[in-house]
Amino acid sequence: MFTVTHPFHPLYGQQFEILNYRHNWGDYRVIFYETPDHVRSLPAVWTSLVPPDPSVLLAAGRAPFQVMDLLALAQLVQRLEERKEDAECQANFAGSVKEIMPDFLILSGGFAEGKSESLRIFGIFFS
């Protein structure tokens, strides 16, 4: 038997019989029957099977976050900001390109001066 000890979990304070205890999804999890036909799993640290974290006990409710968790959150936010900046840079790339007339298409001469129009493409003149 174990008790759900996570204070914000809807099953807080309820006891269940262990079906399985295993390392899954990067941490230890408790698998149990929530109802006779519904199997569920929870992180073991949210149960009475794992002793409470000493920093949580020492904080006695005064520190809702742990330093390691805040550092991990800061790194996540930094990575998300970098992705956002990369996406904005890529989205604005087309707007920052100046219009360039290709060198191979140059019209010389003009109708206003009565000259004939000549066209140079790849260095070949056409009249």
d(CA 84, CA 6): 34
What would the pLDDT profile of 67-108 be if each residue is shown by its tens digit?
Answer: 888 999 999 999 998 888 777 766 666 555 555 545 444 444
Domain membership of residue 17 (yes or no) is: yes
Residue 6 lies in a domain: yes
Domain hosting 59: range is 1-67
Q: What angle do CA 36, 37, 38 make, to 5 degrees?
A: 100
pLDDT tens-place string over residues 19-47: 999 998 789 999 999 999 999 999 999 99
SS3 92: helix
pLDDT band at 9 (very low <50, low <70, confident <90, very high): very high
Residue 75 is assigned to a structural domain of this protein: no
Domain count, the chain: 1
State the pTM of this model.
Answer: 0.50
